[in-house]
Structure 1
Amino acid sequence: MIRQLLASLVVLAGAFLAWAFFVPGAQETLADYGIALPFLPAAEPLVANVEARGPAAGPRSGGPVLMGPGGRPGGRPANVTTTAVTIATVNDSLTAIGEGTAMSSVTVTSPSGGTLEELLVRPGDRVEAGDVIGRLDAETEQVAYDRARLASEDARATLARQEELARSSIIAASALATAKLAADTAELELRAAQIALERRDIVAPISGTVGLMRVTPGNYLAAQTAVTTIDDTSTIDIDFWVPERYAAQIVPGLPVTVAAVALPGRSFAGEVSAVDNRIDPASRTLQVEASIPNDENLMRAGMSFTVALQFPGEQYPAVNPLAILWSGEGSYVWKYENGAATRVMAEIVQRNSDGVLVRADLAPGDAIITEGVLQLNEGMAVNLLDGPAGVGAVQAAETAPRAPAN
């Protein structure tokens, strides 16, 4: 046991002597603590900007202090390198995937039952609202219409004769009223027959492009049988979803840019046309609709689109990741200013591969210490080996004395 203790003491003594002889600044550190070894040469203390005033010594006003162990004045200045603070913008853009729909889309159906006699359009044709695109057999309805027309003409002629006789006071007023009622009834029957005849025509309800036909001539169509679709694609509406955090920034009229998977290399501009009034509780997203003019008729309903939006965003100082340190109060960085190190609290906002965005009292161009940070104290004088000196340090370079190099 005694041999092990002696061996340990010898090892410790050897380590101490090696540190005292070979580690730069070791002699000054021993001198700061009042330890003088007789076999070591006396160390010359390095003090910058310290002026003796009476029995005590203190720093000159306005100059950095060379800090020794424990934060006491004295010792050598630390060697550091710096990088400049830059400003980065986050949350300034958003990309989403959406699906295009036609501005107006209608499924054309048969207005009544019957046999389809003919189709007057083909898929892809452009039609206007009110154009006839197909016809059902209409012989029965045509006969009914002709009969109603003749009955109406006869009733009108009878009414005209009764009115002539009434002016001569030959017939009673009740007979004239009966003739008027018969004429009006015949007119209503004629209108009903005309409507039934018109319903044998299949009419386009909107302007647009005709889709594929779902029936062929000769088919018997029940009422409301789907015949085809018509899409008005003069404007394409794109539905997409955005995260909840963008809800306050998306308003109708916000410009958007879209690109279609089916149209590589092309982009189209439009704007937000509608925003839903609630957040989806399951996905925490908001549904948005954008309208894109389709003047070249290149986009079609059902296409998938990549939607890009731009926002003002939020700006934060960006610092080198090596500059971030932690204390009991939170994260902080060392700022190089007037030849000394100053601690600046820096709350981390976002970590990127090329920098850390922080919420701190920093300006673009400020010099942030990235190497030599572990040996720094508040107000400690430092030697700048590489990197920007910062605006404040450049302005004070002519007046602030330089500490001697190691």
Structure 2
Amino acid sequence: MAIWKQFVLSLIVIAAGFAGWIFLVPGAADVLRNAGVPQNLVARVAPPVKPGGDASGQGEGSQGGRNGGGRNSAVLVVTQAVVQGVVNDRLNAIGTGDAIRSVAVTPQAMGTIREILIKSGDKVKQGQVLAKLDSEEQVIAKGQAEVALKSAIEKSNLYHNIKSSVARMDVFDAEIAEQGARLQLQAAELNLTRRNIVAPIDGIVGIVPVNIGDNVTTSTPIVTLDDRSEILVDYWVPERFANTVSVGQPVEVTTVARPGQAFTGEVQAVDNRIDAASRTLRIRAKIDNRADVLRAGMSFNVSMKFAGDKYPAVDPLSVQWDSQGSFVWRVVDGKSNKVRVSIVQRNPDFVLVKAGIKDGDAIVTQGLQRVREGGPVRFGNEMASKNGVATQ
């Protein structure tokens, strides 16, 4: 068959299908009107709809003639009442834990480690000796300072006893020498004390990275001490919560190391600025850990509850769209009317909207395809009792 004949045949089939759709499908005229076809043209091509019936004069119109007409011309719908929902009522974030106090202990002097008095996992008190450096030189220096002080004291006492026969300046010099000797002894005792490496805080000993015989300096870490009686959790929240989170607000955390167990605490600090790169705000929470089940460095799931803003909540199926935006169908006195809505938040079970609707309003969730502005509706049997409407 020639190409032009195939083309003509295709046009005939399409035209026949379009004509059949117009004359056989109920509501075709409404579709044409919504598509922008002029009313006078729709009236010419689409058959007139008989009152109470469809284009073929059958169906609901005929049934309505036997049952009173007006009842069955109403669209059968299912509705659901509007309820109040809360937006942003919970915040979830991921945070990192740290001990309330943590210190990397380093020596106060250079030397060789002669003794290590602790091991990993030990609990130590502030001031407890953790390790000792070689101290022979400092012991000798202390002995020399003690001898010098003893000599200065004897000389000062002698000059005080015979000050009538010696110059006043000599007595004064003897007193100065005694004070200098005392200071030298204090310095020698301090240098000797610094050969002991002591704990600056109460805490738990980490892994000891040094051994006896190692030469260390004042920058060499000897051990890390963690006071984990409380755990600090740092996490970041979106900037919209900047004016919502406050110090003292309760938090709840969970961790993968303790599945099924929740720990409570409170916000200890709120940063003073928003991070410009991530648009988030740093928050620090404090978690009680007297049971010593949490560790520094753990990851935490942080949860916070807020009062939140309340909005009308509707079924997700009820929200429809047209060229002007989103809307829902509200039923008042058995008739439907279109209400424009602005979606605030989508949830799996409901949608929070900003609209002129209130609690208890009946919103259409099923049968939406045939609902029209101001058109009569009747409720399905399943929802009739909930809406106080009798059905036949």
Query: How many residues are aligned here?
Result: 352
Shift of 1:342: 3.0
Measured after TM superposition, the shift of residue 179 of structure 1 is 0.8
Deviation at 1:268, TM superposition (A): 1.1
Aligned to 1:309: 304
* 1:332 match: 327
Specify the alignment match of 1:102 in structure 2: 99
| Superposition deviation, residue 246 in structure 1 | 2.1
How far apart, CA to CA, are the structure 2 residues paired with 1:338 and 1:310?
A: 40
Q: 1:77 to 1:160 in 2, by over 3 A?
A: same
**1:333 and 1:129, CA in 2 relative to 1: closer, same or farther beyond 3 A?**
same
In structure 1, distance between residues paired with 2:215 and 2:224 = 19
User: Which residue number corresponds to residue 153 of structure 1?
Assistant: 150
Instruction: Report the Cα distance in structure 1 between the residues aligned to 2:24 and 2:102, rounded to whole angstroms.
Output: 91
Specify the code of the residue in structure 2 equivalent to 1:321: P
Between the aligned partners of 1:225 and 1:18, the Cα distance in structure 2 is: 88
Is 1:117 equivalent to 2:140 in the alignment? Answer: no
1:234-281 deviation line (CA, Å, top 9, x unaligned): 111111222222222222111111112222222211111112222222
Identity over the aligned pairs, expressed in percent? 40
Determine the C-alpha separation between the residues in 2 that align with 1:17 and 1:261.
63
**Deviates most, 353-362 or 325-334:** 325-334
Instruction: Give, in angstroms, the shift of residue 390 of structure 1.
Output: 10
Deviation at 1:229, TM superposition (A): 1.0
Deviation at 1:315, TM superposition (A): 2.3
Aligned to 1:349: 344
Asked whether the 8 Å contact 2:239–2:274 carries over to 1, the reply is yes
Write the distance in 2 (CA, Å) between the matches of 1:95 and 1:17.
Answer: 56
Structure 1 letter corresponding to 2:195? R
Aligned equivalents of 1:274, 1:184: Cα separation in 2: 50
- Which residue identity lines up with residue 272 of structure 1 in the other structure? V
Match status 1:225 vs 2:220: yes
**Unpaired runs of at least 5, structure 1:** 20-24, 31-35, 49-65, 67-74
1:139 to 130, 136, 139: 136
Tell me the CA shift for residue 384 of structure 1.
2.4
> Per-residue deviation at 1:328?
5.1
**2:250 partner amino acid:** P
**Residues 121-144 of structure 1, C-alpha deviation per residue, up to 9 Å, x if partnerless?**
111111111111111111111111
TM-score scaled by length of structure 1: 0.76
Distance 1:378 1:362, change over 3 A: same
> Are positions 1:250 and 2:245 aligned together?
yes
2:279 is matched with which residue: 278, 284, 288?
A: 284
Unaligned stretches of 5+ residues in structure 2:
1-7, 27-47
Q: Does the 8 A contact of 1:336 with 1:390 survive in 2?
A: no
Q: Which letter does structure 1 place at the counterpart of 2:352?
A: L
Tell me, yes or no, if structure 1 residue 265 matches structure 2 residue 288: no
Which residue identity is paired with 1:108?
A: V
Where does residue 214 of structure 1 map in the other structure? 209
Which amino acid in structure 1 is aligned with residue 274 of structure 2? Answer: I
Q: Could you report, residue by residue, the CA deviation over 1:79-101 in whole angstroms, capped at 9, with x for unpaired residues?
A: 33212222222311122222111
Instruction: Give the aligned residue type for 1:175.
Output: D
Pairing 1:26–2:52 present: no
**Once the 2 structures are TM-superposed, how far is the Cα of residue 208 of structure 1 from its aligned partner?**
0.5
8 A Cα contact 2:145 2:184, kept in partner = yes
SS at match of 1:27: coil
Shift of 1:329: 4.4
Aligned position for 1:383:
378
Paired residue secondary structure (2:210) = coil
How far 1:192 sits from its partner (Å)? 1.1
Q: Deviations over 1:28-72 (max 9, x none)?
A: 179xxxxx9xxxx9x979798xxxxxxxxxxxxxxxxx9xxxxxx
Letter in 1 for 2:228: T
Secondary structure at 1:225 match in 2: coil
